[in-house]
Structure 1
Amino acid sequence: MAEKTPPFWNGWKHRAAALRHVPALMRLVWESGPAVVAAGWVFRITASLIPLAMLSVSKWILDAVQVKTGGGSLPPEFWWLVALEGGLAILGGVLGRTTGFFDGLLADRFTRHVSVRVMEHAAQLDLTSYESPAFHDRLERARAQATDRITMIHAIGALAQQLIIVVSLSVSVLFFSPWLMVVLVLAVVPAFLGESHFAFLGYSLNLSQTPMRRQLDYLRVLGASKETAKELKLFGLGSYITGQYAELSDGLYAQNVALSRRRLAVGSLLSVVSSASYYSAYAYVIYRTVTGDLSWGSLQFIAGSIAGASANIQSIFATFSNIADQSLFLTDLIEFFRVTPTLSKVAHAIPAPRPIRDGFVFEDVSFQYPGNPRPVLEHLDFRISRGERVALVGENGQGKTTLVKLITRLYDPTAGRVLLDGVDLREYDIEDLHREIGVIFQDFVRYEMSARDNIAVGRLHAAGDDWRIRKAAGRSLAHDVISRLPQGYDQLLGRRFEGGVDLSGGEWQKIALARAYLRDAQLLILDEPTAALDARAELEVFQRFAELTAGKMALLISHRFSTVRMADRIVVLSDGHIKEDGHHDSLVAHGGRYARMFELQAASYR
C-alpha cells in the first residue's frame, strides 16, 4: 500500500529542503569531466543569445519591406540582413547539435563516475549494513541515481539557457508594456504549481513502491534463471511465480494510473489558462499594429518576444520544478554516500602481526544480529594458537559461521573482545588484517571470469604470476579440471557470457579452494570446503590440506566427521556456547554430544 501523501505545502517543504543536495550533485558533475562541462556551458550560453539576435534582424527586414511597399526603397544592407538571418539560423542549429554532443559526452562520463563512486562506497561498508532491508532499498535507489540523475544535470543546463533567453526577450516586452509581462508570468504560475504538486506525489509513490519493485525483480529472476529452472519444472511453480509477479505488477500499475489520471485532468485545465493568457497578449499586440501604433517589424519582434518569453517562462517553471523533484530522488544518492561503516576504526591503526606469535583469543564474547533479540554467541571463551588446526562442529544455526565473521572482523562483538597476539582486533588496520586471512565460505562466489582470474581474486597482486596460480590450482586439485577445458586457464567460466563453460558444484569448489591456497595467509578458514566433493576427492583435498596448513593456523567448519577428525582440536558449538573441546579420540571416548553425532553419521555408512 502506498504511503499517505503529505499535504501540498508539506510537499513543497520537502522539495525545498532537497534542493540543498544540488551543489553536491554539481561537484560530482564537475569531477566527472571538467573540460566537457566547461565546453558544454560555453556553447549553451552562446546558443541562448540566438533567439534575440534573430528577432532583431527579422524586425529590420520587415520594417524595410514595409517601407518598400509604401513606395520607398530598400536600404543597401537589406540583403546582407537576409543573409545574416539565415546565418544565425544555421549557427543556432549547429550550436544546438554541439550542445547535444557535449551533453552526450557528459552523460557517459557522469554515469561512469557516479557508478564507480557507488561501487567504491558500497565496498567500504561492512556486512552489518547489507543485512538491513532498508539499506538494500537505499542501495537500489542509489544505483538507479547513477544513471537517472543525468536528466537533472541536463535540466540545470537547460534552466540556465532558458533564463538567459527570457531575460533578453523580456527587455523588449517590458519596454512595450510592463503589465503585459506580469500577466504572462502570473498565467504560468498555476501550471507550475500544479505540475510540481503532482511530481511530488509521483516521488512519494515511487518511494513507497521501492520494496515492491525489488520483489518484482526477485520474482523475475526466480521465474527465469538456470538456478531455479529445475525446481520450477518439477514442482510446477512456473504459473505460481508468474501469477505472483502479475498480481504485484498489476497493483503497481493501478497506483500509477490513478495518479496519472488526476494529473491529466488538472494539467489540462491549467494548460487552457496559460494558452488563453498568451493569445490575449498576442491579440493586444495585433490590435496596436492594426491601429498604426506599431510597425510590421515591431509586431514581429514583440509577438516573437512574447511567444518566446512565454514559452521559456513556462519552461523555466517546469524545468525548475523538475529539478526540485529530481532533487528529491537525488536525496537517496547523497544520503547513500553518507552511510558510514558501523565497524569503528581507530585513528592510528597498527598493521597485522607478521608473523603471528600467539594466535586469536575470544574473551567473554557475545554477539547478536541487529533486529534479532536472541544472541547467537553468549560469553564465549575460545582460543586458536599459532600452528593449530581447529575444527568447529555443531548443528546449523549454532554460531559457527558467526564465529568466523568475528575472527575475520566482518563484525564486532556485541560484548567482550577478540584478541590477536594480545591486541584487540579493533586496534588493527582492517584491510591489512584481511590480507593475512584466507577464507572460503560455503556460499563462495562463482565469478563469471576466466579460470585464471577466478583463482587470482584470492591474491590480486599475483594475477600475472602464472606459476603461482597453477601451483595453487594443483594444490586444490583444480588443475586437472582446468586442463580439460577447451582454452585451459583462459577459459571463461559460467554461462552468463558467450563462450563460457559451466562447471559442476565440486569443480567450482576446487576453483574456490585454489583461491585460498593462492592467498597463502597466516590463517586459513574453510567453511564447508568439500560439501560438493565426492568422498575420494574430499580425501585427496584434506590429505593435501594437512600438508599445506603445517605451521599455520587453520579453522575448519564441516559436517563430515571423516574430515574434522584430521584437526588438532575439535570444538563443539551449541546454543552459542562451547559444549566440548578436545581431540577426536578423547571426545569419542567421553561419550558426549560429539560422540553421539559421530556415531549417528558413522552408522549411516554401515
Structure 2
Amino acid sequence: MTEPDVVKGPGTGRWSVVAERVASLKNLLPLLRMVWASGRGVVVANLVLRLVAALVPVAVLAVARWIVDGVVAAVGAHQGMTPQLARLVALEFVLAAVGALLGRLIQYFNILLAEKYTRHASLQLMDHASRLDLATYEDPSFYDRMERARVQATDRIVTVEMIARFLQQAVTTVSLGIGILVFSPWLLLGIVICLVPAAVAEARFGARIYALNFRLTPKRRELDYLRQLGASKESAKELKIFGLSPFLRHRYEQLSGELLGELVTVWRRAIGGLSMLSVLGVLGYYGAYAFVVYEAARGELSVGSLAFLTGAIVAANRTFQEMFSTAVGIADQSLYLKDLLSFFSLKPTIRSGERALKVPRPIRQGFEFRNVTFKYPGRVEPVLQGASFHLRPGERLALIGENGQGKTTIVKLLMRLYDPTEGQILLDGVDLREYDIEDLWREMGVIFQDFARYDMTAADNIAVGRIEQRGDRALIEESARKSLANTVIDRLPGGYEQILGRRFEGGVDLSGGEWQKLALSRAYMRDAQVLVLDEPTAALDARAELDVFTHFGELARGKMALLISHRFSTVRMADRILVLTGGRIVEEGNHEQLITLGGRYSTMYELQASRYR
C-alpha cells in the first residue's frame, strides 16, 4: 500500500503538498480582514506590544554582556561594585519587569481579540447560513462543509495568534541574528541550514494531516451522531427495548478504530524522518555553541562576548525553530481556512431581485399555480407534476393524500422556499419571483408538522411567530389563549417566563401535544395574510383537536388558509379540498362534492370512518 499524499480536493502528488501550502497562504487575507473588522484597536495594541516585547530578549543579552565584562574588569582592578554596574543591574531588572508586564498585556489583548473575533465570525456564519437555500440543507455533503466551517469560524483565532506570534518571533530572531552575524556570518548560515530541512518536512507532514482530516470528516460526523444516539433522551426507550446499545457500541468502536488506524499509519511513516531532521537541527545548534566556546578559549572573545553569543545562539536557535514551526502552523491553518471560505462562497439562488416588488396589502386575487412541476435536487422523478389550482383571498384550501404525494412541497413552493422546475406561481397575477422574498415571508403564518421546539421561555416560544413584537406581553397572552396554549402555560412553575426543554438547568419539557399548542399560538401571533398549517393537530388527542378547530374559524377569518391533514374531521372544514396522488391533483371540490364523486377522497374517507364504527 502506497503512502497517501493529499486527497483529491486538497491536491494530489508530493510536490503538490508544497504548492498547496504556498497557494493556501492567500486564504489568510480574508481572515485578517475579518479580524480587523472585529476589533481594530485591539489588533493595533496587540501588534505594538508584541513588537516591543520582541526586542526585549536581545536588549537583556546586551546588558548582560556589559555586566559580565564590567564584573571582570572590576575584579581585575579590585574596584568592587561600581555605580556603572549598579545601573546596569537596575536596567536589566527594568527590562525583565517590562518583559513580564508586556507578556501579561499581550495575554489580555489575546483574550479580548479572541472573544471579539469569535463573536464577529459566529454572527457572520449565522447570517450567511440563514440566507442559503433550503435545498442546500438537504444535501448531505453540505453538513460536512458547514460543520468544518462552524469549527473553523471560531477556531481560526488560533491562526491570528500564530501570525502575531510569528511576527514577534521574527523580530526577535532577526535582532538576535544580527548579533551573531556581526561575530560570524558563517556561523549564522550554518544554524539556518541545519534547521530548514526540518521545517520543510513539518510543512509536508502537516499537509498530509490536513488531507486525512478532510477525508475523515464524514466518519467523524457519524461518530458524533452515534455518541448522541447512544446517550439521548429521544432514543433511550428504543435502545433498551430493541437492545440497540451493543450494535451502536460496535459501530462506534469499528469507525473510531478505522480513524485511529489511519492516523497511526500516517504518523508511523513520518516520525522516523522527522526525528532525524530534528537531530540535524540540534547538531547545528551545538556545533555553533562549540565553535563560540573554542574561540573564547583561544582568547578571541571576551567573557562578556562569550556570554552574549552563547545566549544569542541558544535564544536564536529556539526562536528560529519556533518561528519555522509557527510558519508551518500558519500554513496548516491556512489550508483549513478553505473550509470556512468555501462555506462563505456558497450563494443562494432563491433571492429577491434588485427591483423586487412589495407584496400587495391586501392581496386581491390570491395565488395561482400554473402547470407547476418540481423535482428535488438529486432526484430523477418529480414529486409534483403539472399542478394547477387557485388559492383565493378568504378561502380555506385543504390538501390531502398519502405521504410523499407533494403536499408539503406545494407549501414550500407557495412560500418560495423553492422555485418550480417547470410552470409558474403567480401572486395577484405577477410571478412570485418578482416579489421581495422577505416581504413575502412576512405575510406567511406557517406551522409545520416538524415545528421547532425552542429551548427558551414559553413567552419567547410564542413570540418567534412575530419576533419584533416580543415585548408585547398582551399580544403573546392573547395568542396563547386562542391556541389553548394558555392552559399549558398556566400549569408551568414559571408561567410565561418558564424555560422549556431540558437543554438548560431548570427547564421543563412538554408533551408533543403541549408543544404543538405553543406552535399554533405562533400562527395567531403572526397575524399574516396567508395561513399555512401542516398537520397542525397531529400530536393532539380528539378532544384537544376539537377545541383547536373550534377556534380555527377565528384564526383563518379574512385570511387565505392552506391546510394539510390526514384527519377528515379537520379537512371537511375547508372550503375546497385538493386530492393528490402520484404528485398530481386528481380530485378537487368540497367535502360533500368529493363524497358524491365516489373517487379517491371518498374511499379514503370511508376507510378512516370505518375505524370509529
**What whole-Å deviation, never above 9, does each CA across 1:140-177 have from its counterpart, x for those lacking one?**
00110122111111100111001111121111211111
Contact persistence 2:482–2:524 (CA under 8 A) = yes
Paired residue type of 2:143 = H
Q: Give the corresponding residue for 1:96.
A: 103
Secondary structure of 2:388's match?
Answer: strand
1:70 Cα deviation after fit: 3.3
Q: Give the corresponding residue for 2:185.
A: 178
Q: Give the corresponding residue for 1:54.
A: 60
1:266 Cα deviation after fit: 2.1
Paired residue type of 1:383 = H
Aligned equivalents of 2:471, 2:66: Cα separation in 1: 72
1:418 Cα deviation after fit: 0.8
Number of residue pairs aligned between Structure 1 and Structure 2: 606
Q: What does 1:517-536 correspond to in 2, within 5 Å? A: 517-536=524-543
Paired residue type of 2:480 = A
Q: Give the corresponding residue for 2:29.
A: 23
1:252 Cα deviation after fit: 1.0
Determine which of 63, 69, 75 is the counterpart of 2:69. Answer: 63
1:4 Cα deviation after fit: 6.0
Farther-moved stretch of structure 1 (144-153 vs 434-443): 144-153
Aligned equivalents of 1:396, 1:271: Cα separation in 2: 64
Percent of pairs with identical residues? 55
* TM norm structure 1: 0.98
Q: Give the corresponding residue for 2:360.
A: 353
Paired residue type of 1:44 = R
Q: Give the corresponding residue for 2:157.
A: 150
Q: Give the corresponding residue for 2:313.
A: 306
Aligned equivalents of 1:297, 1:53: Cα separation in 2: 14
The question of 1:11 aligning with 2:17 is answered yes
Contact persistence 1:128–1:342 (CA under 8 A) = no
Determine which of 479, 484, 494 is the counterpart of 2:486. Answer: 479
Secondary structure of 1:77's match?
Answer: helix
Contact persistence 2:5–2:14 (CA under 8 A) = no
**What whole-Å deviation, never above 9, does each CA across 1:324-352 have from its counterpart, x for those lacking one?**
11000011111211111121431111111
Farther-moved stretch of structure 1 (495-504 vs 574-583): 495-504
Determine which of 186, 189, 192 is the counterpart of 2:196. Answer: 189
Secondary structure of 1:499's match?
Answer: coil
Determine which of 112, 115, 124 is the counterpart of 2:122. Answer: 115
- Give the direction of change, closer, same or farther, for the CA distance of 1:413–1:155 in structure 2 (3 Å limit): same
Contact persistence 2:67–2:88 (CA under 8 A) = yes
Secondary structure of 2:216's match?
Answer: helix
The question of 1:41 aligning with 2:47 is answered yes
1:73 Cα deviation after fit: 4.0
1:475 Cα deviation after fit: 1.0
Aligned equivalents of 1:240, 1:397: Cα separation in 2: 31
**What whole-Å deviation, never above 9, does each CA across 1:26-73 have from its counterpart, x for those lacking one?**
111111112211111111111001011111111111111222343464
Contact persistence 1:525–1:554 (CA under 8 A) = yes
Paired residue type of 2:54 = S
Secondary structure of 2:569's match?
Answer: helix
Aligned equivalents of 1:49, 1:192: Cα separation in 2: 24
**What whole-Å deviation, never above 9, does each CA across 1:526-578 have from its counterpart, x for those lacking one?**
00000011111111211211232122100000000111011000000111111
Q: Give the corresponding residue for 1:557.
A: 564
Secondary structure of 1:354's match?
Answer: coil
CA RMSD, 1 decimal: 1.5
Aligned equivalents of 1:551, 1:119: Cα separation in 2: 36
1:263 Cα deviation after fit: 3.5
Secondary structure of 2:391's match?
Answer: strand
Structure 2 unaligned spans of 5+ = 7-11
Aligned equivalents of 2:401, 2:232: Cα separation in 1: 33
Q: Give the corresponding residue for 2:522.
A: 515
Contact persistence 2:65–2:305 (CA under 8 A) = yes
Contact persistence 1:40–1:102 (CA under 8 A) = yes
* TM norm structure 2: 0.97
Paired residue type of 2:493 = P
Q: Give the corresponding residue for 2:9.
A: none
Paired residue type of 2:329 = N
Aligned equivalents of 1:538, 1:205: Cα separation in 2: 53
- Give the direction of change, closer, same or farther, for the CA distance of 1:316–1:260 in structure 2 (3 Å limit): same
- Give the direction of change, closer, same or farther, for the CA distance of 1:76–1:463 in structure 2 (3 Å limit): closer
Contact persistence 2:458–2:495 (CA under 8 A) = yes
Q: What does 1:582-593 correspond to in 2, within 5 Å? A: 582-593=589-600
Secondary structure of 1:496's match?
Answer: coil
Determine which of 268, 271, 275 is the counterpart of 2:278. Answer: 271
- Give the direction of change, closer, same or farther, for the CA distance of 1:404–1:199 in structure 2 (3 Å limit): same
Contact persistence 1:199–1:325 (CA under 8 A) = yes
1:98 Cα deviation after fit: 1.4
Aligned equivalents of 1:12, 1:325: Cα separation in 2: 11
The question of 1:141 aligning with 2:171 is answered no
Determine which of 590, 601, 605 is the counterpart of 2:608. Answer: 601
Secondary structure of 2:499's match?
Answer: coil
Secondary structure of 1:297's match?
Answer: helix
**What whole-Å deviation, never above 9, does each CA across 1:389-422 have from its counterpart, x for those lacking one?**
0000000000000110000011111111111111
Contact persistence 2:367–2:426 (CA under 8 A) = yes
Aligned equivalents of 2:405, 2:509: Cα separation in 1: 33
**What whole-Å deviation, never above 9, does each CA across 1:162-199 have from its counterpart, x for those lacking one?**
11111211112111111111111111111101111111
Contact persistence 2:384–2:583 (CA under 8 A) = yes
Q: What does 1:561-572 correspond to in 2, within 5 Å? A: 561-572=568-579
Contact persistence 1:3–1:208 (CA under 8 A) = no
Farther-moved stretch of structure 1 (298-307 vs 433-442): 298-307
Farther-moved stretch of structure 1 (38-47 vs 564-573): 38-47
Aligned equivalents of 2:78, 2:501: Cα separation in 1: 83
